[in-house]
Amino acid sequence: MNYIFLHGRGGSGKDTQADLLAQELPNVLRISTGEIYRGAKSGEGEYGRFHTLVEPYIEHVDSGHFLPDSIILQMVGSVIEEKVGQGFKNFIFTGFPRTEEQQTAIDEWVKENGEKGLVQSINILYAVLEDHTRERSEKRRISDIETKGGSRYDDQPKAVESKLKSFTTLTLPMLKKLNDEGLLNVIRANRSIEEIFERTLEVIGQNSANVESSSRQRVEGEA
């Protein structure tokens, strides 16, 4: 089993890469904490069951802050348990973990199951500057207003600045620790989507357990 964690500031392209990986890798499921939160907030769909958990924090999160670690861990843990029961063995995470406490919880789970040869984790950071995040969010905000009549709550300028601050104060220390331990793979995200994806597949191929891209499987099958 592989846990693939995609990290990065807003606008770094981690969600795009996650979508591409979900299409390319076998038996893989993408888990986005942003999607879990939005579903929980609305009370509808697959994640609507978490509404009572997030309801007290909706205003706080919509202004650009993070959910409490305990809430995130409870929701993500529930989703993983459910999906493993459905037969999924490989997971791609975006927006998780975001804090050292969340990373510690993952470390403990991976250590417990890694000793049994059951799970391995891969961490990838898509590195972009803060100004890139601001520009991407503003372009998306304007586009959404023009095409949809409104924009996402997290693309509002105040929310963007708050998220950048949270990333700096809460997420960067976690990433630094991973990097110091030799567990973080950094990919510069100022290249084309195709170039970034090619590099992402290389990193996963070098670090994963029994995960091969479908394109590689096809080539080997034809040889």
Rounded distance between C-alpha atoms, residue 181 and residue 100, angstroms: 14
Domains belonging to the chain, first-starting first, are 2-208 (3.40.50.300)
Q: What is the pLDDT of residues 53-81, one digit of tens each?
A: 999 999 999 888 899 999 999 999 999 99
At 45, the pLDDT band (50, 70, 90 cuts) reads very high
Give the CA dihedral 152, 153, 158, 159, nearest 10 degrees: -100
CA 114 to chain centroid, in Å, comes to: 21
Q: What is the pLDDT of residues 190-215, one digit of tens each?
A: 999 999 999 999 999 887 655 555 44
Indicate the pTM of the whole model.
0.84
pLDDT at 209: 58
